[in-house]
Amino acid sequence: MTKFARLLEYCRPYLWRIVLAAVGSLGVGSMDGAITYLVEPVLKRIFSGQDRHIFVLLPFGIIVMYAVRGLCRFTNDYFIRTAGQLAVQDVRNDIYQKNMRLSVGFFNRQPTGVLMSRIMNDVNVMQEGVASIITGVFRDGFSAAALLGIVFYRNWKLAIITFVVIPATVYPAQKLGKKMKNMAKQGQGKMGDIASILQETFSGIKVIKAFGLEGREIEKFKKTNREFYYFSRKSMKYEGISTPLIEFITSFGVATVVWVGGNSVMKGTMSASEFFSFITGMILVYRPIKNLLSSYNVMQRSMGAAERVFEIIDQVPEIKDAPDATDLGRALGEVEFREVSFRYDDDYVLRGLNLTARRGEVVALVGPSGGGKTTLVSLITRFYDPTEGAVLVDGRDIRGATLKSLLNQVALVDQETILFNDTIANNIRYGKTEASDVEVEQAALAAFAHDFILELPEGYQTNIGDRGVRLSGGQRQRICIARAILKDAPILILDEATSALDTESEQMVQAALNNLMANRTTFVIAHRLSTIVHADRIIVLEKGTIVEMGSHQALLANDGLYSRLHGMQFNQTGTC
């Protein structure tokens, strides 16, 4: 009920639509009640009173009543469904907005496809539930109330016999509804798995084809799809059982009414027209009651999806502004790690690390894979917070600064070139959305990207496709560098920025990086040691601790881990 109340809370801004739908519902209920009420007097006047005038007008009356009923039903359906659509649109906006504000650690733990499924599939199921619930409450509820009033007015004794069986339907409806809710929730989970497989498959299609593993991926998809069918089948089974079971239970009431009412007509204690009027009302009232029970089943499926959606909306961000957080302003760029330790779950990645990068200094981070290099720079942007110790910018603990002002101080160029399905100009402008075209071109010139951009069909307005697929690796990297140059942040993080490039592209990108690093405090994570020989300091990390620190020449002379790594690369390439 808490989830249901939260769902209805989203309908509050659209109350006027619900009111109009309620007016339409009243019209539908009134027409149903009027049809039931008029059956008995009209039949009496036509067949007992031989009133031909009423008989002639009856077809026109029926057409008018059903036209009014149809207009009321349209009003109800249209405004209820648009209210539900708008409410669920707000739910989708909220879950997306919440996702965007959650920490990087959350996304590392959640498959992308599952998150996509919750925003798309689960919210769609909620949408169906909102429309069905509100429609059931208003239209079917009003119709049932009006018809119940008429049948009790006609013959309260037969009405009691008719509806004495209704309470007997509550227990099976609840049991089946609970099962449908559980099956729907598990089924939506499997739909999330399907979305996750699709996302992974389409993103990694080159690797799949290169290894000839299309068959294996197809079988994995079929298996997950079959599991989704399993839960859907069970949900369909319970839903399919629900209506026949309810109808079977209510048939005892109908059969008793036919027996008792028929005997009354034959004994003369009730007229045939009265009995026919009552039977008409009884048949009509069962329809909205059955619809209400169907709406209850839909609500249960909707609540299963709502639980999954609200799980995301209720997530508390691991990284957020402190209550007294202040704006950093424009930082000078000094970064200090003070007794910093960090762990994922129980595994320490960094231990007791102390490091200071002075303003404008280039600090290179090297070492074996898993040594903690990427984790270290991720603490600067507060993608994570230290388990112990503190990270300071210009002497201030960054946990005391607003996230927005902190991230304004940092530009990131990652080994994975993240570009968006948009124009080149908008991709460069991503870090400074208000930048002019002139500023965009200046950044591209500094990144050695201007010439190749002008060769493209539409220049800076060329759409580069999903993840920049229409550009080469070196071109994509230079666009990312131009984006970082335009942002003009005092702290720069380069995470393996040239690791995936060929020699020619690397030279071009390295020249662009030299322009980018000028007068900025720079952290460089490098696999190719040849790219960091001119760094002010080289930090060698192993198993989360600093094992060596110094210049390129000093570390070579030290004959430690750095010297061995250098020797291995020199032997492999013949140059360094």
- Torsion 354-542-502-473 (CA) sign: negative
- Token reading at 432: 């400074």
Q: Is 512 within a domain?
A: no
In this structure, the answer to whether residues 106 and 247 fall within a common structural domain is yes
pLDDT confidence of residue 337: 92
pLDDT confidence of residue 576: 41
In this structure, the answer to whether residues 149 and 225 fall within a common structural domain is yes
In this structure, the answer to whether residues 59 and 143 fall within a common structural domain is yes
Picking from 464, 488, 512, the residue at the C-terminal end of a domain is 488
Q: Is 515 within a domain?
A: no
pLDDT of 503 higher than 60? no
Task: Please tell me the distance from the alpha carbon of residue 416 to that of residue 517, in angstroms, as a whole number.
Answer: 19
Residue 339: pLDDT band (50, 70, 90) is: very high
- In 3D, which of 411, 571, 397, 551 has the Cα closest to residue 480? 411
What CATH number did the domain enclosing 129 receive? 1.20.1560.10
Range with lowest mean pLDDT among 197-211, 436-450, 520-534: 197-211
In this structure, the answer to whether residues 443 and 554 fall within a common structural domain is no
In terms of pLDDT, which residue wins out, 197 or 409? 409
Q: Is 553 within a domain?
A: yes
pLDDT confidence of residue 575: 45
Task: Specify whether the CB–CB gap between 22 and 83 falls below 8 A.
Answer: no
Task: Please tell me the distance from the alpha carbon of residue 147 to that of residue 134, in angstroms, as a whole number.
Answer: 19
User: How do beta strands 388-393 and 521-525 pair?
Assistant: unpaired
In this structure, the answer to whether residues 230 and 342 fall within a common structural domain is no
In terms of pLDDT, which residue wins out, 135 or 99? 99
Residue 459: pLDDT band (50, 70, 90) is: confident
Task: Please tell me the distance from the alpha carbon of residue 299 to that of residue 290, in angstroms, as a whole number.
Answer: 14
pLDDT of 485 higher than 70? yes
pLDDT of 325 higher than 70? yes
In this structure, the answer to whether residues 89 and 202 fall within a common structural domain is yes
Q: Is 365 within a domain?
A: yes
Q: What is the pLDDT of residues 240-277, one digit of tens each?
A: 776 677 777 777 777 777 787 778 778 777 777 677 77
pLDDT confidence of residue 348: 85
Per DSSP, the three-state class of 196 is helix
The mean pLDDT value for 518-546 works out to 83
- Token reading at 226: 């079959």
User: What DSSP designation does 560 have?
Assistant: S
Q: At what angle do helices 52-101 and 123-135 cross, to 10 degrees?
A: 150
pLDDT confidence of residue 573: 47
In this structure, the answer to whether residues 160 and 290 fall within a common structural domain is yes
Q: Is 456 within a domain?
A: yes
Q: What is the pLDDT of residues 399-453, one digit of tens each?
A: 989 988 888 888 888 777 778 888 889 888 887 888 888 988 888 888 888 888 8
Q: Is 511 within a domain?
A: no
Picking from 488, 511, 543, the residue at the C-terminal end of a domain is 488
What values do phi and psi take at 377, rounded to 5? -75, -25
In this structure, the answer to whether residues 290 and 212 fall within a common structural domain is yes
In this structure, the answer to whether residues 223 and 266 fall within a common structural domain is yes
Residue 135: pLDDT band (50, 70, 90) is: low
In this structure, the answer to whether residues 352 and 335 fall within a common structural domain is yes
Q: How many distinct structural domains can be found in the chain?
A: 3
Consecutive H or E run containing 487: helix 473-487
- Torsion 257-263-265-268 (CA) sign: negative
Q: Which domain holds residue 350?
A: 322-409+490-500+520-576
Range with lowest mean pLDDT among 37-51, 114-128, 504-518: 37-51
Picking from 289, 313, 337, the residue at the C-terminal end of a domain is 313
Q: Is 361 within a domain?
A: yes
User: How do beta strands 521-525 and 491-495 pair?
Assistant: parallel
Q: Is 551 within a domain?
A: yes
* Number of other residues whose CB lies within 10 A of the CB of residue 426: 15
- In 3D, which of 181, 193, 180 has the Cα closest to residue 226? 193
What CATH number did the domain enclosing 355 receive? 3.40.50.300
Per DSSP, the three-state class of 325 is coil
Per DSSP, the three-state class of 339 is strand
Q: What is the pTM of this model?
A: 0.68
pLDDT of 119 higher than 70? yes
In this structure, the answer to whether residues 32 and 165 fall within a common structural domain is yes
pLDDT of 396 higher than 50? yes
Three-class secondary structure assignment of 33-59:
HHHHHHHHHHHHHHHHCCCHHHHHHHH
What values do phi and psi take at 149, rounded to 5? -60, -45
In this structure, the answer to whether residues 402 and 449 fall within a common structural domain is no
